[in-house]
Amino acid sequence: MRPHRSATILLLLLAAAGCRHAAPPGPLPQGWQTLVAAPRNFAALYRFSCCGHRDLVLTARAGDGRLSLSVAVPPGGTALAVWVAGEGGWVNRVKEGCREPLQKGVLPVSASSFLPLDARLVALLLTGLLPSGAREMPELPGWVEATTEGYLWRARVEGPEPHCTRVLVARAGDENPLLVADIESPLGSASGVPSMPRALSLVAGSVKAELTLQAWHTSEAPSPPSWLSAPVCGAKP
């Protein structure tokens, strides 16, 4: 371990945390390892605010490495639609009637705002779970970390029923977080199955987003949307 690395980590985490998490963290709750699990296939509905807009409706379906996401402006009308499968993805430019390829490792949340997340990380955040290989951080009680496909994932786990309250996502080898997620008030668990987060607050640079869960259920993995048949934006006829 590099000299003062633990102190650097502590300062970064507390600086990102704000007042609510400024107190020294407690030990990890017993059974925190139950959060190290593959997310179930699910469909969820959220009230969504981001990028100067409030009271939007976000629908997410995830499973088998695929993610289908749409943002609507009530009472109707799709503002944004995204499809991610494996390392590839597409964004539906609804007004233009075309689709464009999605850069790997980013998730659009508006026409010009992005979060540094891929389909796997989105599924983990929305289900409140931890990546495989998550391990306790002895230098920072109450926190765990894991490296997953180029990302460093650090999470604060509290109890007595284990649940994540804060997640920091960074590039592997870089301790400066790309994204900070506060996870609020789990709904409660059944039969030892970790509960779904009720609200999430996400900050990535100047982009801030808030999600409040309205409905959640297990489902089949998402199927490719019909708009994938639209022409590629800028393609010659």
For residue 125 the two structure tokens come to 């955040």
Which residue, among 207, 206, 35, has the nearest Cα to 125 in the 3D structure? 35
Residue that wins the pLDDT comparison between 189 and 95: 95
Higher pLDDT, 26 or 129: 129
**Ordered domains of the chain (ranges, CATH):** 26-217 (2.50.20)
Q: List, in sequence order, every beta strand (DSSP E) within 94-206.
A: 98-101, 107-108, 114-115, 135-136, 143-148, 151-158, 163-171, 179-184, 199-204
Q: Is the pLDDT of residue 130 over 90?
A: yes
pLDDT given at position 11: 45
- pLDDT (0 to 100) of residue 165: 93
The radius of gyration computed from the CA coordinates of the chain, to the nearest angstrom, equals 18
Predicted local confidence at residue 24, as pLDDT: 57
- Any idea of the CA torsion for 104, 108, 114, 119, to the nearest 10 degrees? -50
Total residue length of the chain = 237
Q: What value does the mean pLDDT of the chain take?
A: 85
Are 46 and 214 in contact, with CB atoms under 8 Å apart? yes
d(CA 158, CA 137): 14
Summarize pLDDT for 73-122 with one digit per residue, the tens.
Answer: 887 788 889 999 877 899 998 888 899 999 888 898 887 889 998 888 99
Those residues with Cβ within 8 angstroms of residue 222's Cβ, 6 or more apart along the chain or in another chain: 61, 62, 63, 66, 67, 68
Share of the chain above pLDDT 70, in %: 84
- Residue 87 has a pLDDT of 73
pLDDT in tens, 203-219: 999 999 999 999 999 99
User: Tell me: the pLDDT tens digits for 15-71?
Assistant: 454 444 445 567 899 999 999 999 999 999 999 999 888 889 999 999 998 999 999
Q: Give dist(CA 169, CA 177) in Å, integer.
A: 5
pLDDT at residue 191 greater than cutoff 60 = no
